[in-house]
Amino acid sequence: MQAISKNSTFLRNCKNLKFISKNINNRKLSSSYITLSQLQSIKTNNNYKNYSSKNLRNSLILLSSVSFLAYYANDQLQHNANSLISNDNGKNPASNKKPISPAEVAKHNKPDDCWVVIDGYVYDVSFFIPNHPGGEDVIRANAGKDVTAIFMPLHAKGTLEKNIPIENQLGPLSKPMPKKLVCPPYAPGETPYEIMTKQKLRDNMPPLGTILNLYDFERLASKILTNQAWAYYSSGADDEITYRENHNAYHRIFFKPHILVDVKDVNLKTTMLGNKTDVPFYVSATALCKLGNPEGGEVDIAKGCGSTSYMVPQMISTLASCSLDEVAEGKANDKQLQWFQLYVNSDRKITRNLIKHAEDLGMKAIFVTVDAPSLGNREKDQKIKFTTQGSEGPKILQKKGDTSNAAAEAKKKENKSDGASKALSKFIDPSLSWEDIAKMRELTKLPIVIKGVQRAEDAVRAAQMGCQGVVLSNHGGRQLDFSRAPIEVLAETMPILKHHGLDKNFDVFVDGGIRRGTDILKALCLGATGVGLGRPFLYANSCYGRDGVAHAIDIITKELEMSMRLLGVSKIEDLNPGFLDLQSLHARSVLVAKDALYENSYKEPQLAKFLIDDDD
């Protein structure tokens, strides 16, 4: 399944940019046509230069607005015209409340008197503005409007019922809001031409069977994801040195294979946290999967993890787009392992409730993230604000020099929502300490794993205080730039744990930079219990949904099995550091003579290509 399928409502109505607006009760259809060829002619025609910049900008903004609104209106009409968000127990909150007119909603457009419409229902969110994890601006800027298209892709089922008291759930909307008060789908930093191009590429994705490695998924995702999604998924801290070093460090480790070993049958099974697993790798927790796959999100990852001959453990993020309940219910197989990744909230009651709920849902471990007391400086992400400031939408699209009150207010607050990362993690407690970890062990019988360990001493301390494991991780290179690669920390940590006699009943995981089966194999040889992959599964899920996740698992599994056979090993437990040449691991800069003849004759392997030209 693709995140947006070829037969989706959006694509049916966007063929050649033919946007059709339908009425509900079988009334006469009216349509307006803006063809792709017309847009391209505007872009390339000699008369293009004759357009004033003001008129061109207004035309593009109008085109964008019409496109978004037409998609939103037509998509909403596929549902019952009176459909409402139902709460988790199935009762309709509108059953005993009076309908509210659009005119009445529009009056409540101030920060201290803020109503919004979500899926045909009116909510008073005035009280919630200061506490909104995504920042105040996104609510303030859209007070008195229908925010359905912004809200739905970013929030899990049941969010409204859990956060908005019943007295603030005001009632059903009597009729649709005026178009000018309906927010388009959130796509900051996107020009109309970019949006059209990406939709056309989605309609011409290469067959899944032609995807040969994890880099193919990444390359395709870079072309079709929204600017917001790509910036959030791909960004690293500062100059992204650590982000790149996480991967490059694996290139400094070489194999020393055994020969003449019976490797007819290779067994990938292992044990993680006391549970038997089919493979020695897992899907790392990543937030906001719906940014790339609006329909399936983390649920599609759950389904993909259980739909191949090898079931893969899934770690679920506190900041997932889907609720923990949805992801737990989305398993394709009851035998699937699921773990919960926990960000500790300043309100410890919330944290206790999260742990208890994870336990109730059958999660098999709690992974406590400890490397994010403050979010790293992720500049790619920050350049695209995770909010809509001012009355005309995302700040990045606002006209420079706008002197309106809305623009002035946005300018004052421009630093309050610096990208998705900071917007979503303001509630993480920076005072988290070892004492909190000790108390947390009293709250649950589930294994507790410390995620984000970056030096051997902390791994030793975690083991000594009774934790069941650690994840050697630097948050995918998204926190402190120039942190060491986890594979380097692993090589340092395992001998020290063994020296203290702490390596037997203590699991050591590693993530960051893994792209090949050989990367996993190197980590296992160094003593890792299991290896986590995050971004590769995000990209696979964004491009092909659950089928992409399953195919990514097949790719990694086949690479790992083949590499073990060539290394001369048939079982995971037989791997050890003796299979590796580690001489260059700590040499972060290795200069060698340039082989000019080889480089000039070498032809680079080609990545997956779309079925149409993508200007690359």
Least-confidence region, from 208-212, 418-422, 604-608: 418-422
CB neighbours of 178 closer than 8 A, spacing ≥ 6?
102, 106
Distance CA 235, CA 569 (A): 37
Give 199-209 pLDDT, tens digit per residue: 889 989 999 99
Give 237-276 pLDDT, tens digit per residue: 888 889 999 999 999 999 999 999 999 999 999 999 999 9
Alpha carbon separation from 361 to 191, 331, 368, 504, 575 (Å, rounded):
42, 12, 17, 29, 35
Distance CA 271, CA 242 (A): 30
Per DSSP, what are the bridge partners of residue 255? 580
Question: What is the full DSSP assignment across 314-351?
Answer: EEE-TT-SS-HHHHHHT-SSTT--EEEEEPPBSSHHHH
> In the 8-state DSSP scheme, what is residue 267?
B
Give 585-594 pLDDT, tens digit per residue: 988 775 556 6
Answer whether 308's CB lies under 8 Å from 554's CB: yes
Residue 525 phi, psi (nearest 5)? -60, -30
- Could you tell me the pLDDT band of residue 476, with boundaries at 50, 70 and 90? very high
Tell me which residue of 13, 60, 25 sits closest to 39, measured CA to CA: 60
80/226: higher pLDDT:
226
Residue with tokens 């899990």: 156
- Sequence letter at residue 232: Y
- Give yes or no for residue 94 having a pLDDT over 60: no
Give 604-616 pLDDT, tens digit per residue: 677 888 888 777 6
Distance CA 511, CA 537 (A): 13
Answer whether 292's CB lies under 8 Å from 320's CB: no
What residues are annotated to the active site?
475
Q: Give the SS3 label for residue 377.
A: coil
Burial label for 577, CB within 10 Å (0-12, 13-18, 19+), is middle
CB neighbours of 548 closer than 8 A, spacing ≥ 6?
208, 211, 217, 304, 540, 541, 542
What are the b/e assignments for 32-55, b being 16+ CB within 10 Å? Answer: eebebeebeebeeeeeeeeeeeee
Give 300-349 pLDDT, tens digit per residue: 999 999 999 999 999 999 989 899 999 999 999 888 999 999 999 888 89
Please tell me the pTM assigned to this model: 0.70
